[in-house]
Amino acid sequence: MARKVRNLEGGSLVMGELAQGCRLCSMGSKMVLFVTGLCDSSCFYCPLSSEKRGKDLVFANEMPVHSIDDILFEADAIDAEGVGISGGDPLCVLERTIEYIHLLKTTYGDSFHIHLYTSHTDVDESVLRQLKAAGLDEIRFHPQSSDWSGIKAAIRLNISTGIEIPVLPGSYDSLQSLLILADRLGLDFVNLNELEASETNFQRLTRRGLQLTDLGSSSIAESKTDAIKLVWWGAENLQNVSLHFCSAAFKDSIQMRNRLYRRLKNTIREFEEQDEDEPLVVLGVVRRPHGQSLSSEEIDKIMSLLHDHFEVPIELMNADMDRKRVEIAPWILEEISTELQSLLAISLEIGLAYEYPTWDRLQVLFEPL
């Protein structure tokens, strides 16, 4: 009798039970803790940016980490219920990884779910014992060899154990064999990810004859088709292991969107508004034209003018010295923009900025007033 396959958001599928890490990820409540760009594998499809690849850097979601406090700040910013530890390969910086797992479990309690990605399928059992003792709940392996001794050890230690791999076009038969082995060994789940192109892997993918699904997508043609076929094949042929096809659309449109809404709720400032349709903050901005910057003296002058002449409350504006701009409540700026420009004898851009509520406040739109 075939096992049931369920449709998920974004065109994803699951047969069996969705891993706990994936359930929290779908809600946007998993922080991504990138513990290093170092890795001792060399996957041609690695999507890591040149900023991170091969470099020993730490990021919590999009935020560079300089101290433990940065990690806790970002976890609080999204009301995190768990963390996915990634890289690079976290086992390349084992002591740091263990330190972070222990810190997060101690800070947020036993219910805070922690999973980790690694290519080290041959990881020693003693290392897995250290990770479990620190608080690791779930481990996801990306097999690079036929030595699965570490996978078997993780199962023996009762760590929730799975495999997570991109579906490479042309690998259908080998993936079937992998799924049969995963089922026989007693793994909890296998995640099949839609292969995506990035700035850093695109040429390596195209050299192997792989193509984009379409010009408006980063997904690779046939990856999704093969993954869906594997899930339905698994429903007929696998006894215990759960299968999850995670689509590119799910990661981009559902998981990320939900995380951004969580961060927006906790980080939006008194003088900002939330966009009606997207997880964006809207704020008024006064700045120099592209390629120029307001000086500190000019910022002070604008702030004084806003407060003294327009009677704008201090809490409804801000001097952003990093971006060299003045921020103000959008509903106020819409009313005073023309007069403000006339009172300032300098070239300015005055308008509404639409920004993601991420650490770097990526701007996606600027509407001049």
The per-residue pLDDT for range 212-248, each reduced to its tens digit, is 887 667 888 899 999 999 999 999 999 999 999 999 8
pLDDT of residue 42: 84
pLDDT for residue 48 is more than 90: no
**Token digits of residue 41:** 């594998």
pLDDT of residue 299: 96
pLDDT of residue 215: 66
Section 151-172 average pLDDT: 96
Section 24-51 average pLDDT: 91
Section 69-98 average pLDDT: 97
The per-residue pLDDT for range 316-353, each reduced to its tens digit, is 999 999 999 999 999 999 999 999 999 988 899 999 99
Q: Are strands 242-246 and 13-15 parallel, antiparallel or unpaired?
A: antiparallel
Report the share of the chain in percent with pLDDT over 90. Answer: 85
pLDDT of residue 210: 79
- Which pLDDT band holds residue 47 (cuts at 50, 70, 90)? confident
Average pLDDT taken over every residue of the chain: 94
pLDDT for residue 200 is more than 90: no
User: What domains lie within the chain, and their CATH numbers?
Assistant: 5-266 (3.20.20.70), 269-368 (3.30.70)
